[in-house]
Amino acid sequence: MSAPRARPTGRAGRAPPRPPPPPRPPPLGRSTERGDETARQWRAGYRQLGRYLFGDMDAAQVTDVVAALDHILERLRNPIPDAVRRDEP
């Protein structure tokens, strides 16, 4: 078994950059009838869920819900500060 080959080094002892990867194949041009129907059903289901959850709320209430969810998502994206961690039992 032979030893693995070392890549030749360039200036300052660093390896030269690798060539870019080959291009990815293009995405499919069209979906199938079954895929189109599934997408329509999902959209209809999400609209129905939205009407069920928010249909009887006025615009100000919906705005408050969105603001609260934005706040929660921001908390989930950021690590817990040390000050909060120390307060835990």
User: Which pLDDT belongs to residue 7?
Assistant: 56
User: Which pLDDT belongs to residue 62?
Assistant: 93
Tell me which of 46 and 89 has the higher pLDDT.
Answer: 46
3-state SS, one letter per residue, for 28-52: CCCCCHHHHHHHHHHHHHHHHHHHH
Domains of the chain, by residue range, sit at 56-81
User: Which pLDDT belongs to residue 34?
Assistant: 93
| % of the chain exceeding 90 in pLDDT | 45
Residue 66 pLDDT > 80, yes or no? yes
User: Which pLDDT belongs to residue 23?
Assistant: 87
Contact present, 65 and 54 (Cβ < 8 Å): yes
pLDDT digits (tens, 9 = 90+) for 26-55: 777 778 899 999 999 999 999 999 999 999
